[in-house]
Amino acid sequence: MCGGIEYQDQKIYFPQPGARLPVRLRDGHVTWITWGRRKDEATGKFPNGGWARLNSIKSGKWKPWHPRPVLIAAGQFMEKDHDNQSHWVPLDTRMAIQGLLAERDDEMRVYVVNIDTPPEYAWIHDRWPRLVRLKDQ
C-alpha cells in the first residue's frame, strides 16, 4: 500500500499530519503536494486515505477530482506486513511511484496508485504501489 517513502534522506509517512510527497515535474524538478486526506481533517473535499486503486481510477471513481497521473520521486518506499513490521523497498534510480493528482476548488492532493502485489512480495501486503520507468532514464 505504501505507508511511507524516502526521498533524499527524508522519510515521509502517511500518518504524519500535513505529510507531503515529492512530485516530479516534466522538467525534472520536484514540487511537494499534500499526500491524500486523513480522517481527522476538517474539510471533506477529498477521499479519505492516501491511496487510489488502479481499477477504481479506470472505473471512473476518481472523475469528480479531475485525476491526472503524476510521478512521485522516491529512493525507497515502506510497506508494513501483517505483523505491523516495516519493510523498506529500494527503487532503481530509473523508477518512480505512480501517483494520482486530485483537484477540487483550487486545492490539490496526491494519492499513491496501488495495484496487486508482485508474487515475491505477497507475504508483506496485498496492495503495492504501481512503479513506472522514467522516460529520460
Residue 29 lies in a domain: yes
Q: What is the pLDDT of residues 90-122, one digit of tens each?
A: 999 999 999 999 999 889 999 999 999 888 888
Q: Is 58 among the domain residues?
A: yes
Q: What is the per-residue pLDDT across 47-79, written as a single tens digit (0 to 9) for each?
A: 999 999 999 999 999 999 999 999 999 999 999
- Total domains in the chain come to 1
Residue 15's contacts (CB-CB under 8 Å, 6 or more residues apart) are 3, 38
Q: What is the pLDDT of residue 137?
A: 52
Q: Establish if 88 belongs to a structural domain.
A: no
Q: Which pLDDT score is estimated for 33?
A: 97
Task: Give the pLDDT of residue 125.
Answer: 85
Q: Is residue 109 part of a domain?
A: yes
3-state per-residue secondary structure call for the chain: CCCEEEECCEEEECCCCCCEEEEECCCCCEEEEEECECCCCCCCCCCCECEEEHHHHHCCCCHHHCCEEEEECCCEEEEECCCCCEEEEECCCCEEEEEEEEEECCEEEEEEEEEECCHHHCCCCCEEECEEECCCC
Range of the domain at 127: 4-79+96-133
Q: Note whether residue 18 is domain-resident.
A: yes
C-alpha span between 77 and 50 (Å, rounded): 14
**Is residue 87 situated within a structural domain?**
no
Has residue 84 been placed in a domain? no
- Give the count of beta carbons closer than 10 Å to the beta carbon of residue 62: 18
pLDDT in tens, 10-48: 999 999 988 999 999 888 899 999 999 988 887 678 999
